Amino acid sequence: MSLVVLIPLSIGMGLLGLAAFIWALRHDQFDDPKGNASRVLLNDKPPAMKGRTHERLASNTADKHT
């Protein structure tokens, strides 16, 4: 009795995984797999923040404590 349930259940789960993989392929989820990995290694400065920077915040707190 258990094989009657488990075999169709495993086939259904396999088809569901295959459908999810095909959906991801069609919606460009695997478009640039190495792009994000290589961007981590770049030494570019982060974009400028509006308002205060971390250095200004750190120097302001140091001035208050001395």
pLDDT in tens, the chain (66 residues): 799 999 999 999 999 999 999 999 998 887 776 776 777 777 776 666 666 555 555 555 555 555
* Per-residue exposure over 8-32, b if at least 16 CB sit within 10 Å of its own CB, e if not: eeeeeeeeeeeeeeeeeeeeeeeee
Q: According to the model, what pLDDT value does residue 49 have? A: 62
Give the model's pLDDT for residue 53.
57
- How many Å apart are CA 46 and CA 52, to the nearest integer? 14
Separation CA 3–CA 9 (nearest Å):
9
* pLDDT value for 32: 74
Tell me whether residue 58 is exposed, middle or buried, using C-beta atoms within 10 angstroms of its C-beta: 0 to 12, 13 to 18, 19 or more: exposed
What is the per-residue pLDDT for 20? 96
